[in-house]
């Protein structure tokens, strides 16, 4: 369960994820200088729509993909607040792949080793490969990989970086209704 993990918030304070017990969560690794960064708008829309129903988005900035989140935690928070008006919890920048991968993301990848690939996803992966990026399952392929967590703290589904937040709404609604 994700409630067993502790992570640092954007102020470097340790936070136990058990504080989100009983809520549906969407955990996302993000970046501020990525072509997918505008997904923050869709994420904020989801948050606005479902927050009152015990839904939270947990934002984990990551600089592992072509250095697309080079700013400090404070600068990332400021960027997201000013440019996308985000209000969901943001945590300290972390590694999601490799030997330094945060234990939370090691667990998420183990629980949902791959996402459903559609034509858009296959094209995205081909583009990453053409840039020389290694694309290995179960590794996180890119920024904005999303994990849906149920009220019991278990991973329900993994979504590709190109999955638009609005396309996740039905899955969130299904979990909130349980």
121, containing H or E segment? helix 119-130
39-50 and 169-177 helices, crossing angle to 10°: 20
Q: Are 86 and 80 in contact (CB under 8 A)?
A: yes
Active site residue 62: no
N-to-C CA span, the chain: 18
Residue found by looking up tokens 């994420």 in the block: 43
* CA–CA distances in Å: residue 135 to residues 1, 4, 121: 26, 29, 12
Which of the following is catalytic: 7, 17, 31, 34? 34
State the catalytic residues: 34
């Amino acid at each position: 369960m994700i409630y067993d993990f502790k992570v640092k918030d954007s102020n470097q304070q340790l936070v136990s994820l058990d504080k989100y017990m009983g809520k549906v969560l969407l955990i996302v690794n993000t970046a501020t200088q990525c072509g997918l960064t505008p997904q923050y708008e869709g994420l904020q829309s989801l948050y606005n729509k479902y927050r009152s129903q015990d839904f939270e988005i947990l934002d984990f900035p990551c600089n592992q993909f072509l250095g697309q989140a080079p700013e400090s935690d404070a600068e990332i928070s400021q960027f997201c607040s000013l440019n996308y008006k985000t209000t969901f919890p943001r945590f300290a920048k972390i590694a999601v792949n490799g030997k330094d991968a945060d234990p939370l993301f090691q667990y998420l990848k183990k629980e949902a080793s791959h996402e459903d690939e559609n034509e858009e996803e296959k094209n995205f992966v081909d583009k990453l490969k053409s840039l020389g990026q290694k694309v290995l399952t179960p590794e996180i392929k890119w920024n904005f990989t999303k994990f849906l967590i149920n009220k019991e703290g278990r991973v329900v589904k993994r979504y590709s970086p190109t999955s638009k937040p609005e396309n996740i709404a039905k899955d969130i609604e299904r979990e909130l209704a349980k």
